[in-house]
Structure 1
Amino acid sequence: MTTPTDYLASLDAWKLRRLTNLKAPNGWLNIIGRYWLELGSVTVGTATDNDIVLTAGPAHVGTVTEDETGVTFTPADGGAPKRLALSKNKPPQFDVDSLLLEVTTMNGENALRVRDKLSDGPSNFPGIEYFPAEPSWRIVADWVPFEQELTVNTSHNIPTDVVATHKAVFTHEGKTYELIATHGTPAAPQFVIRDLTSKDSTYGACRFVYGEDVTDSTIVLDFNKAINPPCAFTEHAVCPLPPPQNVLPFRIEAGEKRVEMP
């Protein structure tokens, strides 16, 4: 482990990157809508004659068409249709004027998510409050193979099936606990957790922790980097909730606190 001084400096740099990413054009602070798609075509834009009426952007953005094999976007300005390479982990994105659009996929269902790059949301964001940094919350856990199919719920009550391949096993105050990585990959796992601070000082649904320094047998869980999920910043995000195994019966006073959105 690095020295406490180096660790705290690296943590400050991580917090700055975190805030920069939130405020970026593809961050979570400028989303103006999310719309489920169905087979057929829908027009998009701010004009009232569109099927999907936006609050920002051109009067007529274009047409989104879903068929049995995928999704195509046809610009309203007469540009060539664009067949989108759908991906659950990396949704395709494309720009139209001041808008950044993407098509997300969940449980085989697609949705159009729209960001306004001119939104004042990022500039009005008050920032994130953190618990005081505590190096002891950076824990080296055992990284144990653990293959199991799970159904996890989401913030929009959309159950999703996942395959868990590993769990992190660690001790806290003399007791052993296990956290299941429900998302990400074995090399870059994501843990969705909840602890007793959710009752008063952290986001009530969950927080995310990403495993670091993963080896065949160990993984670092840095709870100083426990973050709010996207749904803490916008109603237009769908976030996984923790499986019962990841609801911890103690307080983790580390990482991001609950945000107050303007």
Structure 2
Amino acid sequence: MTLHDHPTSLDAFTADWEAWHLRRDAALAQEHGFLAVTGLYWPDTGPQRLPGVPGTWSAGDEGVTVVLDDEEELVVDGTPVRGRHTFGGIPERGGTEAAWGDTVIEVAERGGRYVIRPRDPRHPLRTGFTGTPAYAPDPRWVVTGTYTAFAEPRPTTVGAVVEGLQHVYDAPGTIRFGIDGLTPDLTAFTGGTPGTLLVLFSDATSGVTTYGAGRALHVDAPAPDGTVVLDFNRATNLPCAYTDFATCPLPPAGNRLPVAVEAGERIPHERRRTAR
């Protein structure tokens, strides 16, 4: 177990959380992170020019294709590209990148559709970023739950912040825990590293003090007896909390808590007038 699972003192607990919070903001502010995204484009069969990137772009059975003018060049996987280039073999929720000067062009697939997102480190959302508001850390929001695995992971379809888009995630099991006299079962998705879990949830603070579409909670691998630690102080915003150029999933219906989880990241400064 890590320190934040079983804090030895409030000072140590707070210091550990503050270091985590600083790392989170630093990751957000990376040169080509989500704060640098300048647009969200859905190419189709008809070639089109996109703001802030060279060439004409289209999508078809082969994947996404760009046709560059004579004086234009991209760098893909370290190799200069001129003329016509096709980005093929992109898996769902996967992507590749092409460099154009300081700009990185993300080519990805989301919900069965291709997407193009330029990332310019000079974007005002990134250069003006001052950090993410959050509730003060409180040990009472570190709770113990019980993970129950399904016999086989269950493909689970959820909506997205983009109208008409759907995401499908593997749900390996559920997590039950106690909160305000309730014992909800949260659907858990596969986490980013082996054995870990990801919980997408909303609660009574959503759209009030936290971003309306929901937040994410990363959970360490369960103990042999199924015990897991849920540290809601580390509930994080999804990229869509900061920018309209994201395709974030919505929480499964059963992960909408009727209580106020007053812990973790709050509505970003950039979203306070447009919270949903």
TM-score, structure 2 normalization: 0.81
Deviation at 1:2, TM superposition (A): 3.5
Counterpart mapping for 1:82-101 below 5 A: 83-101=87-105
Counterpart mapping for 1:1-262 below 5 A: 1-4=6-9, 5-39=11-45, 42=47, 51-54=48-51, 56=52, 61-73=54-66, 76=69, 77=72, 79-80=80-81, 81=85, 83-146=87-150, 147-157=153-163, 158-182=165-189, 184=191, 187-216=195-224, 217-261=226-270
TM-aligned CA distance change 1:85 to 1:25, over 3 Å: farther
TM-aligned CA distance change 1:136 to 1:75, over 3 Å: farther
Equivalenced residue count is: 249
Deviates more, 1:116-125 or 1:230-239: 116-125
Q: Residue type matched to 1:205 in 2?
A: A
SS of 2:17's equivalent?
helix
Contact 1:73 1:84 in 2 (8 A): no
Q: Residue type matched to 1:234 in 2?
A: T
Gaps of 5+ in 1: 43-50
Q: What CA distance in whole angstroms lies between the structure 1 residues aligned with 2:125 and 2:204?
A: 30
Contact 2:28 2:35 in 1 (8 A): yes
Deviation at 1:108, TM superposition (A): 2.1
Pairwise CA RMSD of aligned residues? 2.3
Deviates more, 1:65-74 or 1:173-182: 65-74
TM-superposition CA deviations, 1:49-103 (whole Å, max 9, x none): xx2331x46xxx2344534133345554354346455233442122111211111
Q: What CA distance in whole angstroms lies between the structure 2 residues aligned with 1:261 and 1:153?
A: 24
Contact 2:216 2:236 in 1 (8 A): yes
Contact 2:50 2:57 in 1 (8 A): no
Q: Residue type matched to 2:133 in 1?
A: E
Q: What CA distance in whole angstroms lies between the structure 1 residues aligned with 2:87 and 2:255?
A: 39
SS of 1:173's equivalent?
coil
TM-aligned CA distance change 1:17 to 1:168, over 3 Å: same
Q: Residue type matched to 2:63 in 1?
A: G
Q: What CA distance in whole angstroms lies between the structure 1 residues aligned with 2:25 and 2:159?
A: 27
SS of 2:13's equivalent?
helix
TM-score, structure 1 normalization: 0.84
Contact 1:126 1:261 in 2 (8 A): no
Contact 1:228 1:256 in 2 (8 A): yes
Gaps of 5+ in 2: 1-5, 74-79, 272-276
Deviates more, 1:181-190 or 1:240-249: 181-190
Q: What CA distance in whole angstroms lies between the structure 2 residues aligned with 1:65 and 1:199?
A: 36
